[in-house]
Structure 1
Amino acid sequence: MASEYSFDVVSKVDFQEVNNAVTQAMKEIETRFDFKGSKSSIKVEGEQLVVASDDDYKLKSVVDILQTKLIKRGVPILNMDYGKIEPASGGTVRQTIKMRQGIDQENAKKMNVLIRDSKLKVKSQIQGDQLRVTGKSKDDLQEVMALLRGAGLPLELQFSNYR
């Protein structure tokens, strides 16, 4: 039996699933009657998405369809940073959506403080873009997981490497 148990708190986006969701969303947009003849599109460029459409209303509809497809494919939409809606060529509008990977230092520090203030017998340390939590009791680690899930942080958390 191990004397210390641990797990990592990460925040990752599976870009293969993002590509699949974009493909599904584009198929739906092409077949929907309210988008007939519109110049709506979604493109994946690195770690961001570029959504374009005829006007603000249609752009918001395209983003809504995209979010629905992302949720169905298990992609966390809390990790999306929406840019401003800006005019594009041909009288269209576009919006860039950045996909955040990893936990930034500010949120990692918040999680560290939450864990420390919980008075559980665990240690947490920031390791790059993830947080490692170690403790002697599996029950304490599960309480930390529940605490972090209910904390209302502005990013989706996954728990990996549970030993």
Structure 2
Amino acid sequence: MAKEASFDVVSKVDLQEVNNAVTQARREIETRFDFKGSKSEIRVEDEALTLISDDEYKLSQLLDVLHTKLIKRDVSLKALKPGKIQPAAGGTVRQVFTLTQGIDQTVAKQITKVIKDSKVKVQAQIQGDQIRVTGKSRDDLQQIIQLLQSQDFDAPLQFTNYR
């Protein structure tokens, strides 16, 4: 009798890599000429990043530095959900970015719909903030992984527990 194979589709951010990227970005900001004498900083609070700078232009430059450091550390930028730019104390501006952990219900429904529309003989089940995909053939599971990687969802996807 054929044994069922499965894998999980998850969306997780490695917080240690985020901390490392923020540390590298802070070091670069301290040494960059265009940030000399400015009140630019990046704060890490739970699962949120707060960027503070003198004006919106410097805030966008700060965000660009952070993005490059996150990309080098293989942290997907889709995991950052930006908030509104707000005025802060001392004539500065602030923007809060939340780090999303887990797959949102609407994105999970989109993923299961794509899997079912592919007509590959697998089953997809939403289990909280992850999706379990099961099937008899490992080749079918590989095909689903390639299909999901080719799609553009609002969340970074990782594939774990491949058995």
User: TM-score under structure 2 normalisation?
Assistant: 0.98
2:41 is aligned with 1:16: no
Q: What is the Cα deviation at residue 2 of structure 1?
A: 5.9
- Give, as a single letter, the amino acid of the residue that structure 2 aligns with 1:79: A
Counterpart Cα distance in 2 of 1:158 and 1:147:
13
Counterpart Cα distance in 2 of 1:160 and 1:2:
22
2:68 is aligned with 1:68: yes
CA RMSD of aligned residues (A): 1.0
In structure 2, the partner of 1:78 is: 78
Tell me, what secondary structure is at the counterpart of 2:124?
strand
In structure 2, the partner of 1:104 is: 104
Unaligned 5+ segments in structure 1 are: none
1:51-88 residue CA offsets vs partner (Å, 9 max, x unmatched): 00000000000001001000101111111100111100
Paired residues, what number? 163
Q: What is the Cα deviation at residue 104 of structure 1?
A: 0.7
Unaligned 5+ segments in structure 2 are: none
2:108 is aligned with 1:122: no
In structure 1, the partner of 2:161 is: 161
Tell me, what secondary structure is at the counterpart of 1:95?
strand
- Give, as a single letter, the amino acid of the residue that structure 2 aligns with 1:121: K
Tell me, what secondary structure is at the counterpart of 1:113?
helix
- Give, as a single letter, the amino acid of the residue that structure 2 aligns with 1:74: D
1:84-106 residue CA offsets vs partner (Å, 9 max, x unmatched): 11100000000000000000111
1:17-59 residue CA offsets vs partner (Å, 9 max, x unmatched): 1111000000000000000000000000110000000000000
Counterpart Cα distance in 2 of 1:52 and 1:93:
6
Q: What is the Cα deviation at residue 150 of structure 1?
A: 1.2
Counterpart Cα distance in 2 of 1:21 and 1:118:
37
- Give, as a single letter, the amino acid of the residue that structure 2 aligns with 1:57: Y
- Give, as a single letter, the amino acid of the residue that structure 2 aligns with 1:108: A
In structure 1, the partner of 2:93 is: 93
User: TM-score under structure 1 normalisation?
Assistant: 0.98
1:98-121 residue CA offsets vs partner (Å, 9 max, x unmatched): 000000111101111110110000
- Give, as a single letter, the amino acid of the residue that structure 1 aligns with 2:158: Q
Counterpart Cα distance in 1 of 2:46 and 2:39:
22
2:25 is aligned with 1:7: no
